[in-house]
Structure 1
Amino acid sequence: MEKLDVDIFNNILETTNKLYANKAKELNDKEEYFRNTLRKALYPNWKIFRKETRKWITLGGIFLLKITMYETKNDEGKITRFTYYHDEKLKQISNCKYDIDNLKLAVKFYLENSKIPSNLKQLLPSKQLLNYYLDKLKIKEKFRKWKY
């Protein structure tokens, strides 16, 4: 039997981290392919204005996702700038850097009035930010309707 080597002081969830890391790599590869190859064929008048990275905070850790801002000129020479999201996940994190699973877990802790484990505190939104998301996503209204 093989010896099992486990670091009990490591707070990273290895399997979850690998899954989210693969998803982040896939999203970054898609963005790079669109920016360098597909954009030139489909939209030759789109010029790159700015390249940036956004944090994506998940239960598997914190990852950086590439996002590119483009600009076009119309016939009158007016410049329009926009961000093209090549995946639905990027559209989601354009408004909130926390993954949906993180928000669900934070809401669960909030509704149960239970303490957040110390290893998850950096991956979940603060109470003030959670209240903002509860209002923005209308979770409080849904909860009131469900309760009565």
Structure 2
Amino acid sequence: MCNLTDNFYIIKWIPGLLTNWSSFKKRIIIYIWLDKLFKNKYYINILSKKCIYKLKYIYNKLYLNLYGIKNMLILPKYIFLVKYNNLILKEISKLKLILISFINLSLDSSYINIKILGNYNNYKSIKLIYKIIYTSIIHSKIKNM
């Protein structure tokens, strides 16, 4: 859904992603550079095997963490979370970003700006809500064309 709507996603939250954005932006630039390097096969003749191995190790580590946000150059205004904890909520509220999320009654939901009532542990309910959000994003993009 995120790829079709030109949005960004993270599978596992990285602590400090938003508050330390300048350092993560540098990591994204390194990731993009390594991605272009490995798509272009000329590095094989130039670099040693040890250097290639180290670069691939760094690339794989960055790929796991930053693949969904590789095109994100600035911080988003809105953040949609499925599962959250208090650390994520405090980080988002510190930057005064708008947060859209499912409500979990066991955690503090006062930081959430737009609350969605639903069970985020059930796959079918998440899929239904994603479809509704996806169609609204597509309709708004069609209107703005």
* Short-chain TM bin: under 0.3
Normalised by the length of structure 2, the TM-score is 0.25
Answer 1 or 2: higher relative contact order, Cα 8 Å, separation at least 6: 2
Q: What's the TM-score, normalizing by structure 1?
A: 0.25
